[in-house]
Structure 1
């Protein structure tokens, strides 16, 4: 498996079977040039995960890509004239022979006075890779590679560490870092406090990295 981080929550996951792009949002760049995609997957409708301005051109350049989205994003995408495949919690969607399970279902709480919204994480091939979106979902299956949220209005560092320890992946790759001026401070704590057997690896921006 190769991962390419386009900043914040946008990741390209390339396996022997499929090329999947997750959360092409407004805080990310470079994903516009991705080609030969089999699917574009959206965890939720916040603009840092879903850039409705750039998404249509991306899909036009990748006519074979299936657009997959949570219920909240699906509504916004349909209103924009796009046709997403709806990902409901626990649904399994097969992309180029690769099973993708939607997990979770709800965005983490930002503040009790703010309305909640749908959020689905995506689990590949029974645990090969997990992108949780904006949530702390812990699937029943063991996870090999975890896209680990680093910082957000809905979380603090200790919660990210607790989530890392709950999932216990072989490898954690930090994402959702664009809200920080110095994300390295968080990355170092992840490395220091990771559970035994888990390695933390910061991906170089825009470069395919074998994991």
Structure 2
């Protein structure tokens, strides 16, 4: 087996040992929309889907297993779909990281409690106010439209993305969403340093099979430019063969239409250190 397929324990050890200077964030890609983000001593997991509990086979094994996860401070869940709120991962993450907080849309809370996650560790993804955690990280919940801008019975968003302000960097993880005017307007006002966007798109035949879609690679590229993201990273294109996209199409589109827009396609299990453009400028 090629040596670049590292064992999960080695990857988590890398996460725990990594320290990044102010104005940077370390990001690890675990497939689909699963990432680890670290800055200023805070480790954040977003939509960790690294189990094999689904009947639908993965195109490749996850870079880590749930049992590998330790050192987590915060876990952000964008919505209840099983490849985002993973019942094979979250109970183990909770057991091994007792102090880690889990933030998710309000409608996810009953399922999280059923997984054995303590009520005291669950935070609501509230789009009406910013959350400040550990005196180091600020989380802004961004309503998302996984084809539809759905709300629960109390008017709370069912799907969300997150803006994470950590270590002097503003990162936007879009979750699963199509574009709609309010999202474009809100994110254009924020102008994130780095944006993580789904690119798998949607079509009639996938909807017919019950697969809910997202923005496609053209829309994601145009969106990144419109909102002023310094760097854009594509997500949600690689784990399921029936719901995939080629990230090269995304890169080609940017190169042909917006050659000055920075982007990065992450390798499986890669650590990418994002450096804000102003980080090392002499004031």
With the length of structure 1 as denominator, give the TM-score of the two structures: 0.85
Q: 1:64 to 1:193 in 2, by over 3 A?
A: farther
Match of 1:145 in 2: 194
1:80 paired residue among 112, 115, 120: 115
Residue 149 (structure 2) pairs with residue 122 (structure 1): no
1:174 shift after superposition: 1.1
Residue 27 (structure 2) pairs with residue 3 (structure 1): yes
Bigger helix fraction: 2
Q: Tell me the SS of whatever aligns to 2:93.
A: helix
1:203 paired residue among 266, 275, 279: 266
Q: 1:88 to 1:182 in 2, by over 3 A?
A: same
1:31 shift after superposition: 5.8
2:227 paired residue among 162, 167, 175: 167
Q: Tell me the SS of whatever aligns to 1:52.
A: coil
Where do 1:14-53 residues align within 5 Å? 14-25=38-49, 29=62, 30=64, 32=66, 33-53=68-88
Cα distance per residue 1:95-117 (max 9 Å; x no partner): 322333333324331699xxxx6
Q: Tell me the SS of whatever aligns to 2:190.
A: coil
Q: Is the 8 A contact 1:38 1:96 kept in 2?
A: no
Q: Tell me the SS of whatever aligns to 1:6.
A: strand
Q: Tell me the SS of whatever aligns to 2:265.
A: coil
What is the alpha-carbon root mean square deviation over aligned residues? 2.6
1:134 shift after superposition: 1.2
What is the distance in 1 between the residues matched to 2:89 and 2:226? 35
Q: 1:188 to 1:195 in 2, by over 3 A?
A: closer
Unaligned stretches of 5+ residues in structure 2: 1-24, 51-57, 151-156, 202-212, 275-283
Larger Rg computed on CA atoms: 2
Q: 1:181 to 1:106 in 2, by over 3 A?
A: closer
Unaligned stretches of 5+ residues in structure 1: none
Q: 1:205 to 1:90 in 2, by over 3 A?
A: farther
21-30 or 35-44: bigger deviation: 21-30
What is the distance in 2 between the residues matched to 1:64 and 1:202? 32
1:207 shift after superposition: 2.3
